[in-house]
Amino acid sequence: MIKHQCSNANSSGIENHSVQQTIDKFVGKQIIVHKHDREKLKEKIVCWSCSSIRPFTVVEDSGFINIMKEAIILGSKYGGDLNIESVIPTAKTVANNVRHLAEDYRRKLKSTLICQAEARCLNIIPDLWSDKHRKISYIGLTCAFVNTSCQLIVIDLCCGEYDDMDKTGRSVFLDLVHLLETFQDVFKLIQTGDRPTLHMVYVGMNKLKLHLDGKDIDTNGDLILIDDRHEDNFVLKLCSHEFCFLGIDFYRQRIKQLLFLMFHFDKKHLAAALLHPQYRKLSFIDDYKRSETHIYVQQLITELRDCQSGQQQMESIAASSEPLKKKHKTIEEQFIDPEDADNDTFSSDSTSTRNQVDELNIYLKMSIDDKFKAPNPLPFWHHYQNKLPCLAKLARRLYSIPATSADVERQFSAVGVLVNERRASLNPDTVEDVLFVRSIQKALMKNPNLLSDNC
């Protein structure tokens, strides 16, 4: 009976059952996580700590550890009783890996910045800020550019310690409510949003001019009286004497003089407005400035075309196997005109030149689709970059220039959150790395291919 097949089956079943009921199942066995998985988790925590500006010591909080334990129990591919302390990096490890991640991002970003600089689309905005806790001065650099996909990219490039001088912010405007609220509205319009802002200088200055001239209108098209801009204008209602209104008019005239004394339209401001489909007629400037802006844009197109032509010639010379220099027997032969390779070269070049310069006239006369009549002009130029190539490249260059230093000032706001009384001992280099990683993370959310694209 022992040799019977059923007996063998039963005995093997008993053996299998005994193998499954080992003591390891009841005692528990510590699982060692692969190095690759630990490094991946470490990077996620570094990114989270920088993006949300959280203290590094948050990883040592008992509540955070309990949450991680529950998450691993429910979703870990390893299963079992995992030693969570062997997976989560310490605060010192997170601090050390900020530098590694920042350097990795800088290395990947280097080719993109070089490409944008060669295309003359890279703009660097500096500013100074002082840490009120440790009295350390910082200099911040924010870069902005428009890539070939017509996307505006803004990155906090660095925020390093600056020893030469200290800078504190001061208010330079008096609280003249009735005159300065429009200034605040214009500032908000220019400094907020993800769209280009250089053309908004044209819009903002004309808005302030109408405001100070008393010719501004509201959303209904009704004229806004300079002395009756608020419903609850109790003071002005009581001041029936003429000197009261003369006093307000005095400040209005002085502000107007100061504004136009301190600020003048740069050619780039008007060129950026010209390249915006909604402002291309430049209706709110005089004919002389409008004509001057057209000439300036045509000059930029010609320079851009000459630069491209020069690069093509250099590439053709480098690819050619013919000798670059030709020996001459006499002095007279040295200055003989070179022979034309093609009799039609002049006519074709002149035609190409005329077509490229005429891009401006084509753009000014073309009808604009309603879908491109929007605050952001970049989708329009992305759509027409093949039909109007020179103007599209010029638009990339101009719209890479921010109208204000608001972006780098936002960087200092983040520094103020990062460096507080409880974390006043942070190294300035660590602060710089955290801000850079945070900025790259925000840019990657908008453009996931930022570090993989050359331009």
pLDDT in tens, 336-346: 555 554 444 43
Residue 141 domain boundaries: 103-168+406-446
The answer to whether the CB of 229 falls within 8 A of the CB of 252 is no
Cα–Cα distance, 185 to 203 (Å, whole number): 12
Query: Which among 415, 387, 338 is positioned nearest to 158, based on CA atoms?
Result: 415
How many distinct structural domains can be found in the chain? 2
Claim to verify: residue 187 and residue 219 sit in the same structural domain = yes
Mark which of 216, 235, 266 sits at the end of a domain: 266
Determine, yes or no, domain membership for 322. Answer: no
Answer positive or negative: Cα dihedral of 21, 24, 27, 32.
negative
Mark which of 266, 293, 309 sits at the end of a domain: 266
**Residue 377 pLDDT grade (very low, low, confident, very high; cuts 50, 70, 90):** very high
Cα–Cα distance, 389 to 385 (Å, whole number): 5
Cα–Cα distance, 303 to 35 (Å, whole number): 54
154 phi and psi, to 5 degrees? -125, 125
Which helix (H) or strand (E) segment is 428 a member of?
A: helix 428-446
52 phi and psi, to 5 degrees? -95, 0
Claim to verify: residue 203 and residue 238 sit in the same structural domain = yes
Determine, yes or no, domain membership for 194. Answer: yes
Claim to verify: residue 157 and residue 109 sit in the same structural domain = yes
- Report which of residues 130 and 393 the model is more confident about: 393
Determine, yes or no, domain membership for 349. Answer: no
Determine, yes or no, domain membership for 4. Answer: no
Determine, yes or no, domain membership for 453. Answer: no
Mean pLDDT value of segment 67-74: 73
Determine, yes or no, domain membership for 305. Answer: no
Structure tokens at 247: 């006093």
Of 7-11, 155-159, 245-249, 283-287, the poorest mean pLDDT is in 7-11
Q: Is the pLDDT of residue 85 over 60?
A: yes
pLDDT above 90 covers a percentage of the chain that reads 11
Longest dimension (CA), the chain: 126
**pLDDT of 2-51, one tens digit each?**
555 554 544 444 444 444 555 455 445 667 878 888 888 888 888 888 88
Determine, yes or no, domain membership for 5. Answer: no
Mark which of 232, 266, 300 sits at the end of a domain: 266
Claim to verify: residue 233 and residue 184 sit in the same structural domain = yes
- Does the pTM surpass 0.75? The reply is no
